[in-house]
Structure 1
Amino acid sequence: MQRTAQELAQKPRISRLVEIDALRGVAALAVVLFHYTARFDELFGHRPPPAISFSGGHYGVNLFFIISGFVIFMTLEKTSKPMDFVVSRFSRLFPAYWTAIVLTFLLTHLLGLPGKLVDLATAFGNLVMIHGLLFRIPHVDGVYWTLEVELLFYCGMLGLFCLRRLGKVHHVLLGLLALRLANFFGQRNFGIELPWTVYRILILTFIPWFALGISIYLATSRHGGASWRPPALTASCAILTLLLTESLFIATLAIALASLVFLAANGRLALLRHRLFVWLGAISYPLYLLHENIGWSLQLQLQALGVPTDATILLVLATSLALATAITRWVEQPALLWIRTRYRNRLAFAK
C-alpha cells in the first residue's frame, strides 16, 4: 500500500523497500534534470546555456526498468489472485496518469509549446496508456512511451502468474534474451529481423533491464535455500546481451545501476533513508508524469521574460516538485486507497 513520505520517514525499522522507492525518486529526478537542461537545449535552446547540463540523466529510465523488474516480481510472489494484481497496478498507475493527461493538455495549451501540442481527440486516446502501440496515437507528453513498456511487462508477468510459471521465469527471460541476440545478428548479417510490432510487444529492447531487476530480487530473497545460480546466470546473460547488441558503455552502466539496486535491496544505501530521498520516492511517479511538457512550457515563458537560465531551471524544478507533491497527496494516494478499499469490501461481501 502507498505510504506517505512522513510515515516512511518515521518508521523505526525501515524496510529495504524504502531504499528501493527512494532510488526510484533519484531516477525520476535525474530524468527531470536531463529534460530541463540537455534535452531542452537540444529542442529549444537555452540563452545562455545552463551551468550544468545533465546529459546522462535519461539513463534514469533504465534504472526505472530494473526497479520495476524487482518490484513487480516481488508483488506477484505475494499475490494470491490475478485480480489482486490488476487492481493493485490499476490503482497505482491510472488515477495519477489520467490527472497528468488533463493537466498537461490544459497547461500546455494555455502556456504554449511549439511542436508538442495535441488535439482533444488525441488526449482522449491517451487514456488507455498503450495508445501508441495499439493505435499509433501520439503522446500528450513524451515520457508516456515508458508507460507502454511497463504495461507490456506487467501483462507478460501476469501471464506467467496465471499459467503458474513464475518459477520458470529464468527460462522465459533467457529465451527472450536469446531472441534479442538472434534478431540482432540476423538483421546485421542476413537482413532478417522480427516484425517491429512483435519486437515491441515482447519489449526485447528493454528485457535485459527487467531481467536484471528480477534476478536481483531472486538473489536477495531466496526462499528455502534456493540456489543463487539461476539469477546469477540470467543477470550475466542480460549484461552479455547489452554488451553484444549495444556497447561496452551500456553494459557497464547496467552493472552500475544493478549494483545500486542490489545494495538498496540489502539495505546498504542508508543515505536513501533520509527524509529528502523518501519524499522524492513518494512523489516520483507524479513527478515523472508531469514534468516534461509542462516544464518546457514554463521554461519558454520564463526565458521570454528574460529570467536567467539557471534561475529558470530552478523555478521550474520547484514548480514540478510542488505539483507532484500535490498530486501525490490529493489524487494518487486517496484514489489508491479508495479503489483498493472498495475492492476488498467487494471481496468480503462476496464471501
Structure 2
Amino acid sequence: MLRGFAALLVLFQHLAETIIATHALPLPIEQAGVLLFDGIFHFGRFGVALFFLISGFVIPFSFRTDRPVRGFAISRAFRLYPAYWLSLGVALLVLHMTGARAPAAVTIVANVAMIQHYVGQPDIVVAYWTLATELAFYVLAAFLVAWGVLRAPFVLAGGIVALFGAALLLALASHLVDKRLPADLPLNLGLMLLGTMLRLAMLERNAIAVRLAGILCGLFLAIVPVVQFMTVPPVGAPGFNLAPTLGYIGALLLFVGVVGAGSEGTRAVGRHSVYRRVTKWFGTISYSVYLFHGPVILACGTILIAGDPGSALRYVAVVLSATILIAAVVYHAVEEPMARLGHRMIRRPVPAQAPGLAEPILATPTVGPIFVETEFR
C-alpha cells in the first residue's frame, strides 16, 4: 500500500503545480493552492521520503543468494533500467512533439546511465532525481553486505549519524558560500539507512536496534529543519520553506505508525479483500506510475486553459487515467518479464563452480506487514 500511496502523492504534487502554473483556477483557489503545496506541505517530498524509507526497509534484504552482491546487482538492473529506458524514450518523444528544446547528447547519455546528478547534468524528467539517490544507496548497501555488517546495528547507526552530519555540514556550508550544495543526498541516504534500522527494530525485534531506532528518528527530526532552512528555498531568498520539512517529518511518522501497526493492520486489511487487492495492485505498478506520470503530464498540458476550472478537472481525469493505464501495461509487458529474466540469470550456474553446485534460487522474502510490500521484483 505504501508504495502506491507514495507514487500517488508525487503525482498529486506535480498535477497541482502544473494546474497552478497555468492559472486555470480562480485566483483565490490558486493562491490557496500555492500556500498549501509550496508553503505548508510538500506532498511530493512526502511521497519521495516514503519511497526512501521503504527502500531502506526492503532493498538490503534482497541480498539472498550465495553470491549476494552479484545477484542483487542483476536483479536491480533488470528491475529498474528497462522500464526507466522506456520512460526516457517516451519523455524525449513528448519533448519533440511539444516543440521543447531537445536535451544535449551528453545529457541524454547521462540520463540513460541514470548518473546525471553525479556528472553535473540535469534530469530530463524532474522525478528522475530520486533514482540517482537509489543507485547510491544500492552501492552503499552492497558495501555493507560485502563487509558483513548489514545487520550490525552499531555500524548502521554510525553510518546514519555520519550521513546526517554530512548533510548538516553541507547545509551550513551552503549558507556560508552562498551556493546550494547537495545536502539532500546524504540526508536521503541516511533516511534510507534509517529504514533499514527500523526493519531490524520493528520487524526483526533486534534489541540493540530497538534502543537505537528511537534516538536516530529523533536525530532525523532535529536535522531536517536545519538542512531545509539552509538549503530550501535557494540561498538568499527570504523566509523558511516549511513544506519540504513537514513532508519529510510526515513521511517518517506515517511509516513508523504503519509498520508499528504490524499484524493488527494485516488483520484489518485482511477483512477487506477487495481493498487489499486494489492497494496491492497499485503498489505493484507504482514504479511505472512514478516513471511515466511526468511525460503524461507534459503531453496533456494543452488540455489546460487559463481561467477555465473545467479544463483543470478534465486534465486531472485524463492524466490519472492515462498514467495508470500506461503503468499497468508497462508493468505486465516490461517490468514483470524483465524481472523474471533477471531472476533466471541469477539462478544460472557460474562456470567456475564445481559440477552440481549451481547457485540456489532467490529466497522467498521475509514476510512483513501487509502495508509495506516486502518484495521488489
- Indicate whether the TM-score tops 0.5: yes
Cα drift, residue 302 of structure 1: 2.1
- Counterpart code for 2:227: T
Cα deviation per residue 1:39-80 (whole Å; 9 max; x = unaligned)? 10344443568899583321211111111111123324x454
Q: How does 1:300-339 map to 2 (within 5 A)?
A: 300-303=301-304, 308-339=311-342
1:116-152 deviation line (CA, Å, top 9, x unaligned): x535653343110012312x22222111111111111
Q: Describe the superposition over 1:290-349 as per-residue Cα deviations: whole angstroms up to 9, x where unpaired.
A: 111332221x22236986220221111100100000000000100110122133124489
How large is the RMSD of aligned CA atoms in angstroms? 3.3
How much has 1:257 moved relative to structure 2? Answer: 2.8
Query: Cα distance, 1:255 vs. partner?
Result: 4.1
1:239 aligns with 2:221: yes
Instruction: Confirm or deny: 8 A CA contact 1:73 1:214 kept in the other structure.
Output: yes
Instruction: Give the Å deviation of 1:185.
Output: 4.8
| AA matched with 2:327 | A
Query: Is the contact made by 1:184 and 1:245 (CA closer than 8 Å) also made in structure 2?
Result: yes
Q: For each residue in 1:17-58, what CA deviation from the matched residue of structure 2 results, as whole angstroms up to 9, or x when unmatched? A: xxxxx2111110111111112x10344443568899583321
1:165 aligned partner: 149
**Which of 11, 26, 30 is equivalent to 2:9?**
30
Q: TM-score, normalised by structure 1?
A: 0.78
In the alignment, which residue of structure 2 is the partner of 1:127?
112
Distance 2:261 2:284 in 1: 16
The match for 1:118 is: 103
Equivalent pair of 1:177/1:204 in contact (CA under 8 Å): yes
Relative distance call for 1:130 and 1:244 in structure 2 (3 A) is: same
Q: Is the 8 A contact 1:240 1:251 kept in 2?
A: no
- Alignment correspondent of 1:284: 286
Aligned residue for 1:205, secondary structure, equals helix
Change (3 A) 1:297 1:195: closer
Q: Which amino acid aligns with 2:114?
A: M
Percent identity over the alignment is 24
Change over 3 Å in CA distance of 1:31–1:220 after alignment to 2: same
- Once the two structures are TM-superposed, the CA of residue 159 in structure 1 deviates from its matched residue by 1.2
Distance 2:297 2:248 in 1: 31
Alpha-carbon distance, 1:224 to partner: 6.9
- Cα 1:264/1:340, change in 2 over 3 Å: farther
Question: Residue 303 and residue 335 in structure 1: after superposition, are their counterparts in 2 closer, same or farther (change >3 A)?
Answer: same
In structure 2, C-alpha distance between the alignment counterparts of 1:218 and 1:102, rounded to whole Å: 39
The corresponding residue for 1:205 is 187
Among residues 99, 107, 117, which one is paired with 2:86 in the alignment? 99
Is contact 1:208–1:239 with CA below 8 Å preserved after alignment? no
What is the CA-CA distance between 1:244 and the residue it aligns to? 4.1
Judge which range, 305-314 or 276-285, deviates more: 305-314
C-alpha change, 1:185 and 1:48, in structure 2 (3 Å) is closer
Structure 1 unpaired stretches of 5+: 1-21
CA gap of 1:209–1:156, structure 2 versus 1, over 3 A, is same
Give distance in 1, aligned partners of 2:179 and 2:211: 31
SS in structure 2 at match of 1:204: helix
Paired letter, 2:346: Y
In structure 2, distance between residues paired with 1:275 and 1:231: 32
How has the CA–CA distance of structure 1 residues 165 and 142 changed in structure 2, closer, same or farther, with 3 Å as cutoff? Answer: same
2:139 aligns with 155
Count matched residues.
319
Q: Which amino acid aligns with 2:144?
A: L
2:43 alignment counterpart:
57
Determine which structure has greater relative contact order: mean sequence separation of CA pairs < 8 Å that are 6+ residues apart, divided by chain length: 1
TM-score (norm 2): 0.73
Distance in 2 (CA, whole Å) between partners of 1:164 and 1:301 is: 53
Distance 2:302 2:279 in 1: 30
Gaps of 5+ in 2: 229-241, 358-377
- 2:254 is aligned, of 232, 253, 257, to 257
Please give the alpha-carbon distance, in whole angstroms, between the structure 1 residues aligned to 2:18 and 2:179: 34
CA shift, 1:157, in A, is 1.5
